[in-house]
Structure 1
């Protein structure tokens, strides 16, 4: 197995001494090159985890290690070189007057040599399919295009970890699909550890593992297929079940015995075709 890149050790957090605990004794690991989806209803603690990883917040109890280094006020700037984050609203991340300027911003702050900056701008914009928009003003882009540029801006600093915190929440279904496809391609090429924070179960099918949060605690951790098999339990903690999983259950009730829990429509169709060919 790959080495541990992120480790939470009995981490607890609350936003004030009189406030309830948002996270309660959370422990988990994320490995190098792994894609982990963290899901849960609103207020379950998943976005707090993202902010703790990036050092925007610090735990009141427990400790967090990134690549073996504890996250604290002394190490925070080193940690942020390793962890890149894309938020829900890309407009909050734009600082440049053009797409190219925005991608260059993080590298300029780190003193990256100009020749290397030019190469990285080209590579990262190409990776997200935005190379033809280098000189476009960000406000002229669609929501999906803005998120692609935000991802490119983070990739340009060569992080080991990329966090998407509800990064598709403001997009339409087509835009969500395009962003997740882009992210999947980037992760494969860059060998990044990828963390996607979401409450949309449709987005987690490509992940290697899923961590399910409920009321500040880890409710479950498993593969997407194992998580989707627990439909009734997911509904009980306020999570919607993907349509393909509902359809699969309806088919089973009609006596059609599928061989596995389908993650998407393609798997369901393939299973139905195999069953049909055997009859």
Structure 2
């Protein structure tokens, strides 16, 4: 059985007389990868997330999860494999306590009580929220709420997890903490992680990036390869991170920066290496 998410020439529109939101989109995501799907508002990236989870169905083409074409007859089976964390975690909370909320998805699937008692603390520990089992979800901070939402998805052990703009409502510190959390979870559990975002700062840790523009795959490559297209990214409405802008400015001043630094630490290391050769 194929352990992939596959889009095969997928097109989609929300209304019959409306323009297509996706146009012959074609890509695959392998088991265990972290793939970031990025694009400006209206580029089709969130529609892709909903097609992966069976919240929408392709107008033409095929969306496959682990070899199965997603359709109305198997959508509930697909959702057992593909968990989704949305932008606003309040929309996902149903329990009166953190523990109840994390247990909700398992209850719906008929998981035995003894397994639930084991999985709830395990899932909360994975996102550093084990001390908050008895807290009310709505009293938590934004970052804590997203951690609980992620724990709720982890508890049902999906093969694929989608974060659809899951850090958009957080401050920079909260965003970084959530990205570090999901990276740790992904590495420990061999989870396939798909992050949907418009923020280029969030793609640095991904294995691969798919850049969407006007409903089409505009570019596909590593984060470093994406950052090498600064001017083109700006033209399609994506704000290039400060480190990438600084790299471009240094090069324009005759400073030979070899690679595309992905973060401040890499930039400092590159400049230190250049200084040591002077």
Instruction: Compute the TM-score of the two structures, normalised by the length of structure 1.
Output: 0.98
Matches within 5 A, 1:214-253: 214-253=213-252
Q: State the partner residue of 2:83.
A: 84
What runs of 5+ residues in structure 1 fail to find an aligned partner? none
Q: Pairwise CA RMSD of aligned residues?
A: 0.7
- Superposed CA offset, 1:226-277 (max 9, x none): 0100000001100000000001111112221112000000111111111111
**1:4: Cα distance to partner?**
4.3
Counterparts of 1:122 and 1:115, CA distance in 2: 12
Q: State the partner residue of 2:45.
A: 46
Counterparts of 1:235 and 1:202, CA distance in 2: 14
Q: State the partner residue of 1:168.
A: 167
Question: Could you say what secondary structure the match of 1:154 adopts?
Answer: helix
Q: State the partner residue of 2:103.
A: 104
Counterparts of 2:52 and 2:269, CA distance in 1: 39
Counterparts of 1:259 and 1:187, CA distance in 2: 31
Runs of 4+ deviating beyond 3 Å: none
Instruction: Compute the TM-score of the two structures, normalised by the length of structure 2.
Output: 0.98
Counterparts of 1:264 and 1:245, CA distance in 2: 9
Counterparts of 2:138 and 2:191, CA distance in 1: 29
Counterparts of 1:144 and 1:158, CA distance in 2: 22
What runs of 5+ residues in structure 2 fail to find an aligned partner? none
Q: Does structure 2 conserve the Cα–Cα contact (< 8 Å) formed by 1:4 and 1:29?
A: no
Matched, 1:145 2:144: yes
Counterparts of 2:3 and 2:234, CA distance in 1: 32
Counterparts of 2:220 and 2:240, CA distance in 1: 16
Counterparts of 1:248 and 1:124, CA distance in 2: 40
Question: Could you say what secondary structure the match of 2:234 adopts?
Answer: helix
Counterparts of 2:256 and 2:55, CA distance in 1: 48
- Superposed CA offset, 1:58-79 (max 9, x none): 0010011100111000010110
Number of residue pairs matched? Answer: 277
Q: State the partner residue of 2:206.
A: 207
Question: Could you say what secondary structure the match of 2:174 adopts?
Answer: helix
Counterparts of 1:18 and 1:4, CA distance in 2: 36
Counterparts of 1:24 and 1:259, CA distance in 2: 36
